[in-house]
Amino acid sequence: MSAAPAPAATARRLMRALDTATLATAQHDGGWPYASLVLVAADHDATPLLLISTLAEHTRNLAAEPRVSLLFDGTAGLDSRLTGARVTVLGRAERTDAPHHRQRFLARHPDAAGYAGFGDFAVYQIAIERAHLVAGFGRIDWISAGDLLYPLPAAFPLREQEPGVVGHMNADHADAIQLYATRLLGAGDAGWRMTGCDAEGCDLRRGGEVLRLDFDRPVHSADGARVELVRLVKRARGGRDGN
């Protein structure tokens, strides 16, 4: 039997797999806790990214107090939801104008392109300080930011190459994407598209559904991603893995 993943890996996978989270801020006019549902994406190191409006109550709150928490809930669909994994991320919300942050969020949430250009919307990143993982009864851990975030190497070309990888897969290898979804991840039907590719895996979407396909080994470039994606499609077809 293989060992259970380390808490940090479990938490990071959950953060990458979900496209919504519950954002908790401190009410600007009294300090009461205020929770709201937000769309979320993950940067290449798993830093959470939000696209929010200055007109929203939570954005007014974090302008006064940038400390926030984000709950990523992976318990949906379980008969006993308290047996499932969830992670609360604590950090500070910081506005970011980095182009790759906006690109990554909009790739994850294509419908947001319809309002992302409005003047009141901006991308925020959550500078993580620590996280609290509950992965079922008795599996509870505090995780430092240094352990939680994926350590990107100094040379990490995949950040710039990602749009090309994703575009190529959707345009030329749609059949492989369907195999990932149906054979490896147990999803039904067709219509899946790839929305992101990071060091640890890739993200798939079909309408309001999202899936996470993990790599068996980290990749840091388009060439590395190609090797993993080819190996995974061979696995999906029942052929040799390439290991």
The last residue of one of the domains, among 100, 126, 148, is: 148
Residue 190 domain boundaries = 158-236
**137 and 174 part of one domain:** no
Choosing from 148, 182, 201, the residue where a domain stops is: 148
> Which residues, 6+ apart, have CB-to-CB distance to 17 below 8 Å?
74, 210, 211, 212
User: Which regions of the chain are under pLDDT 50?
Assistant: 1, 242-243
Give the residue from 113, 148, 183 where a domain finishes.
148
pLDDT on residue 1: 47
- Is 116 within the bounds of a domain? yes
Judge whether 153 lies within some domain. no
| Residue 122, in any domain of the structure | yes
Please name the amino acid found at residue 7: P
**pLDDT tens readout for residues 168-206:** 999 999 999 999 999 999 998 889 999 999 999 999 999
> Model's pTM, two decimal places?
0.94
pLDDT of residue 189: 86
**Whether 169 and 141 share a structural domain:** no
The answer to whether residues 195 and 103 belong to one domain is no
